[in-house]
Structure 1
Amino acid sequence: MEKLISNRCNIVESVPESYIFPPERRPGKQVVPPCNTIPVIDFQGLHPMELQHQIMKASQDYGFFQLINHGVSLELMKDTLIVGKEVFELPEKDKEKFYSKGPKQNCGFKASVDYTNEKVHYWRDNFHHPCHPVEDHIHHWPSNPPRYREVFGRYSIEVRKLGLQILDLICEGLGLESGYFREGLSQNQLMIINHYPACPDPSLVLGLPKHGDPFLLTLLNQGEVSGLQVLKDQQWLSVEPLPNAFVVNINHMLQIISNGKLKSADHRVVASSVERTTVVSFIQPSIDSCIEPAKSLVNESSNPPLYKSFTFSDFMTTHTTALREGKDELEHYMIIPSQAS
């Protein structure tokens, strides 16, 4: 438990050396401009065809968009952030039994990204657990805070419903058969509560490094404090919070299945002088799913596959190593012209 920076940050007056990144990787004191061009999409205020068009264009141009008027209530969005923050305020004795002892622990706190193996630690703790179907997992979730199971149970169901609606629109936009992303490709759902404590010098640390999400789709409830940055045209831009909005981003599996038509954008998280709590829901394939470009989207003559076939479990192993070493895991699965001939 001593590895959790959130347990120590109230007595930390300067950044511990093990959290200080080398100058070429740290964010520094340069002001990152807000990205005013990331699309903001009104989920319930558009005709279905226009909604599909906007989601597809945003997914191709940015890999990111903000979704408003999405149907998840403002009260539930706020309660999720409040209760999520309460998890990190629990006494250490209550958190101890949920401290993650390794990557295979399904429900628990985790320090940094890969605390044991990484050279520099990230200014972030998280609490994570699977959440679909809710009835199979809820009894493993904390009973304290008292409202945790009720709030996150409702939230998990609502966010999954929304995520599948988005995936159905993407499915239609790509011209795939109806329901392509349902069943095995969206069988699992992971909930992560990220906590980024107030930092004495945010210019020296990173909350999360440059990366793309390895799953299918991300829906982020980022609250009111900024910290998310997306890489666009080799420039970092800040994704400023919008009230009651989800930040939605395309993940690596969607980029691969679409054979590169959709974009999984690189992003990172920076720390702040004030604490920040976010709640992120990932829709992900079953661990034994075969991932490859959709066969109806490729042909050997005019649109050959850009990626090899692989299992999702294999990709996750590669992703963990690549994240720690600062590499691009997608390169490992790309087909170069000589391999395709």
Structure 2
Amino acid sequence: MAQLLSNTCSIQSVVPESYIMPPERRPGQHVVPSCNTIPVIDLDGNRNELIQEIMKASQEYGFFQLINHGVSEELMKDVMVVAKEFFDLPVEEKERFYSEDPNQTCRLKTSADFAKEKVHFWRDNLRHPCHPLEENLQQWPENPARYREVFGSYSVEVRNLGLQILDLICEGLGLEPGYFEGGLTQSQMMISINHYPPCPDPTLVLGLPKHGDPYTLTLLNQGDVPGLQVLKDEQWVAVKPLPNAFVVNINHMLQIISNGKLKSADHRVVVSSNVARTTIASFIHPSKDVLIEPAKSLVSEANPPLYKCFTFEDFIRTYIIDTHEGKDPLECLMIRS
């Protein structure tokens, strides 16, 4: 438990050496501008126009912000309050969920493999599966008292929203209706709560490194504290929080299934010296044993497959290592002509 930053950040006056990034990976003192061009998409609109907007954003940025999405403002705020309450719990309450075992279902951690990392990231993380809800709910925290109730309602609504977005993407790609049903999405969704405490010197650390998400689709409730940055045209741009909005980003599996038509954009998280940042990411992802490959209807002699066929479980094994070493996790999957 000594590694949890939420237990020790209030007494730290300097950054521990094990958290200091190599110079080439540090955010430094450079001011990253807010990006006013990352698309903001209103889900309460014409379906054909929605599909066009989502496809354009997914091709050009790999990111967009979603408003009027149907998840109530009250629930968006409630889930954030409860998430913050969890990280404010006494050490002994959180200790029940802390583990270095990646196979633990509901796991509080600082990183994927703290012992093997050369340098650590400035965050604490709680993650757990949430679908099917009735099979996972009893493994979640009981404290704060409203955790299971609020996150249960939230996970159901967010998953339905994610499937709605994938349905629009399916139509936009010209895939057969229901392509993303079954093992590709129906059985799996993970909630990941990131907590980034204030840091004595944010120029030396990263909350999360440059990476693309390894799943299918991410819906992020980032609250009102900035910190997310997206790589666009080799430049970092900050994603300004919008009230009651989700940040939606295309993941690696969707880039592969679309045979490169959609973009899984690299992003990172920077931290603050004076305010904590808590975010709630919902990952829709395939079953471990499902085969991932470019959709056959998108492949032809004129448009050959760009990626090999593989299982999601095999990809996750190499993804964690590659990301921490700063490598492109898709490189080994690409088919060379």
Q: What TM-score, normalized by structure 2, do the two folds share?
A: 0.98
Q: How far 1:95 sits from its partner (Å)?
A: 1.0
- Determine the structure 2 residue equivalent to 1:181: 180
Deviations 1:218-239 (A, max 9, x none): 0000000000000000000000
Tell me the distance in 2 between the aligned counterparts of 1:76 and 1:146: 16
Q: How far 1:111 sits from its partner (Å)?
A: 1.1
Q: 1:215–1:282: 8 Å Cα contact kept in structure 2? A: yes
Tell me the distance in 1 between the aligned counterparts of 2:100 and 2:234: 37
Deviations 1:119-166 (A, max 9, x none): 111001100000001111001101110000000000000000000000
- The count of corresponding residues between Structure 1 and Structure 2 is 335
Q: How far 1:101 sits from its partner (Å)?
A: 2.8
Residue type of the partner of 2:279? T
Superposed counterparts of 1:19-168, under 5 Å: 19-44=19-44, 46-168=45-167
Q: How far 1:23 sits from its partner (Å)?
A: 1.3
Residue type of the partner of 2:70? G
- Determine the structure 2 residue equivalent to 1:14: 14
Q: How far 1:246 sits from its partner (Å)?
A: 0.1
- Determine the structure 1 residue equivalent to 2:294: 293
- Determine the structure 2 residue equivalent to 1:277: 278
Tell me the distance in 1 between the aligned counterparts of 2:264 and 2:324: 19
**Secondary structure of the corresponding residue to residue 35 of structure 2:** coil
Superposed counterparts of 1:263-274, under 5 Å: 263-273=263-273, 274=275
Q: 1:100–1:107: 8 Å Cα contact kept in structure 2? A: no
- Determine the structure 1 residue equivalent to 2:258: 258
- Determine the structure 2 residue equivalent to 1:235: 235
- Higher mean C-alpha displacement, 269-278 vs 113-122: 113-122
Residue type of the partner of 2:168? L
Residue type of the partner of 2:93? D
Deviations 1:276-324 (A, max 9, x none): 000000000000010000000001x200000000000000001011112
Tell me the distance in 2 between the aligned counterparts of 1:59 and 1:324: 25
- Higher mean C-alpha displacement, 181-190 vs 212-221: 181-190
- Higher mean C-alpha displacement, 324-333 vs 212-221: 324-333
Q: 1:113–1:121: 8 Å Cα contact kept in structure 2? A: no
**Secondary structure of the corresponding residue to residue 24 of structure 2:** coil
Q: Percent identity?
A: 69
Q: How far 1:182 sits from its partner (Å)?
A: 1.4
Residue type of the partner of 2:20? I
Deviations 1:46-68 (A, max 9, x none): 10000111001100110000000
**Secondary structure of the corresponding residue to residue 189 of structure 2:** strand
1:208 equivalenced with 2:208 (yes/no): yes
Tell me the distance in 2 between the aligned counterparts of 1:84 and 1:260: 35
Q: 2:102–2:112: 8 Å Cα contact kept in structure 1? A: no
- Determine the structure 1 residue equivalent to 2:5: 5
Q: How far 1:100 sits from its partner (Å)?
A: 1.9
Q: How far 1:6 sits from its partner (Å)?
A: 1.3
**Secondary structure of the corresponding residue to residue 335 of structure 1:** coil
Superposed counterparts of 1:306-325, under 5 Å: 306-325=306-325
Tell me the distance in 1 between the aligned counterparts of 2:174 and 2:195: 39
The runs of at least 4 aligned residues of structure 1 exceeding 3 Å deviation read none
RMSD: 0.7
Tell me the distance in 2 between the aligned counterparts of 1:324 and 1:234: 20
Deviations 1:60-83 (A, max 9, x none): 110000000000000000011110
- Higher mean C-alpha displacement, 7-16 vs 151-160: 7-16
Q: How far 1:205 sits from its partner (Å)?
A: 0.3
**Secondary structure of the corresponding residue to residue 25 of structure 2:** coil
Segments of 5+ residues of structure 1 without an aligned counterpart are none
**Secondary structure of the corresponding residue to residue 329 of structure 1:** coil
Q: 1:38–1:66: 8 Å Cα contact kept in structure 2? A: yes
- Higher mean C-alpha displacement, 85-94 vs 61-70: 85-94
Segments of 5+ residues of structure 2 without an aligned counterpart are none
**Secondary structure of the corresponding residue to residue 24 of structure 1:** helix
